[in-house]
Amino acid sequence: MRSPVPDLLDAVLEECRDAGDDGELAGSIPELADADPERFALALCTVDGTRYAVGDAEHRFTIQSISKPFVYALALADRGYDEVLDHVGVEPSGDAFNEISLEDNGRPRNPMINIGAITTHALAGPRGATAEQSTARVLEGLSTFAGRELEVDEAVEASERETADRNLALAYLVRARGKLQDEPHDAVDGYIRQCSALVDVRDLAVMAMTLGAGGRNPVTGEQVVPAWVCRQVLSVMATCGMYDAAGDWMTTVGIPAKSGVSGGVLGALPGQVGIGAFSPRLDRFGNSVRGSRAFERLSTEMGLHLMHAP
């Protein structure tokens, strides 16, 4: 019997496209302002590795902040729970993605906002890794999550490097509090390269399902990180993944998720599905408008809300 999923994805895509063209293209990275605002794609990956995709599914875009949960996962796997928790907290900040959000002890509040993500980048790779080695580990690790070798968009990377003052300021603050293990410039350079990795919605769905399947990539079969890491990462995504819209997202969509400034959104429902969405116009929190709408529809149609009693 033919799966009902492709028709559902098509219907959700059309419905969410017709619902309007609200939102603005990202303003913080000049190169992203050239994106085609009409692009829209959805993909879903099941726990057995079956993938479905509709819309502009072949279009590649930079992963941006969606990389954050995966780099957090790599840091946890490489350095262990205690060392990572010593450097980055797990409390929702209720702040915007680029806020100065530090606890009294100098730890960034969580790894999903920039200040925490820059700190986490420097924790990837074995203890004593150089900044270069951490960045190499991050790109290799992101590729393993996706199940294919990801390339970097050099133009977006260069564009973000030119406008990195705020991220540099965040990195210097953490360094001053003794929580950043690399030189601020090196950590920010590596973090920007991480954000510039190119993905499509299918990659997002597979990456999400890998987190939702205890760290085993459902397509390649590779165990990317241990299962305890995924529990930790998904918990932090559930509370902090959508920035200052995290509470609203949890009540309306109910799926641990992460968004990025280029318009991607990824969500993982443990043991069930991984979902990827892409559409470049963003709401005031920096989350894709059509992507968020699509998640809400899919959650309702497929009964995916975590708090929904079957």
Which one-letter amino acid corresponds to residue 252?
T
Cβ contacts of 272 within 8 Å, gap of 6 or more = 46, 47, 212, 304
User: Which position among 65, 93, 101, 262 bears the catalytic label?
Assistant: 65
The least distance separating ligand GLN from the CB of residue 47, rounded to whole angstroms, comes to 27
191: annotated active-site residue: yes
71: annotated active-site residue: no
75 touches 116 (CB < 8 A): no
Q: Establish whether 172 is an annotated binding residue.
A: no
Residue 195 near ligand GLN by CB under 6 A? yes
The DSSP bridge partners found for residue 269 are 273
Find the binder of ligand GLN among 114, 120, 210, 292 (CB under 6 A).
114
Q: Which is nearer to ligand GLN, 28 or 223 (CB)?
A: 28
Closest CA to 225 of 214, 241, 212: 214
The DSSP bridge partners found for residue 159 are none
Q: Establish whether 287 is an annotated binding residue.
A: no
179: annotated active-site residue: no
Closest CA to 191 of 159, 219, 157: 157
Q: Establish whether 154 is an annotated binding residue.
A: no
User: Which position among 191, 233, 262, 279 bears the catalytic label?
Assistant: 191
Find the binder of ligand GLN among 61, 97, 145, 278 (CB under 6 A).
97
Q: Which is nearer to ligand GLN, 118 or 275 (CB)?
A: 118
Tokens 């991050």 locate to: 138
SS (HEC) of 64-103: HHHHHHHHHHHHHHHHCHHHHHHHCCCCCCCCCCCCCCEC
81: annotated active-site residue: no
Give catalytic residues, as residue numbers: 65, 68, 191, 243, 261
Interface residues toward ligand GLN, by CB under 6 A: 28, 64-65, 97-98, 114, 160, 167, 195, 260-261, 286
Known binding site: residues? 65, 114, 160, 167, 191, 243, 261
